[in-house]
Structure 1
Amino acid sequence: MANSKPSPPKSSRPPLLTTLFALLFTLLTAVGVYFIRIQSVITPFSQNLTNLVEAQKLQDGSCLYTTYTGLEPLDIALTYLVASFAQGPLGLHEAARIQQIHFLLNFFPTVVIMNVEAYRSRNRWGFLSFHAAWATLYQTVGGGVIIPFYHLVYTLLTTKKTYLVSGGAVPPPLGKSLLP
Structure 2
Amino acid sequence: MMERNIVSALHRFEHRMLRSAYMDDPNRFNERMLTNEKELFLTYDEFCNHNGESNPYQPKDFSVSRMYGENGAEALMFTFPKPEAPTDCYRIYTFFVKSEKVPGFFTIEHVRGKGPDEPFICRWMMGQNGWTHIGGIEPEGDEFTTCARFYQSFDFEEFMKMVEAAKSTAKKMTPAEMKELFAAQGGCLT
TM range, smaller chain: under 0.3
Question: Greater share of helix residues, 1 or 2?
Answer: 1
Larger strand proportion of the pair: 2
TM-score by length of 2: 0.25
Of structures 1 and 2, the one with the larger relative CO (CA 8 A, separation 6+) is 1
Instruction: Provide TM-score, normalisation by structure 1.
Output: 0.26
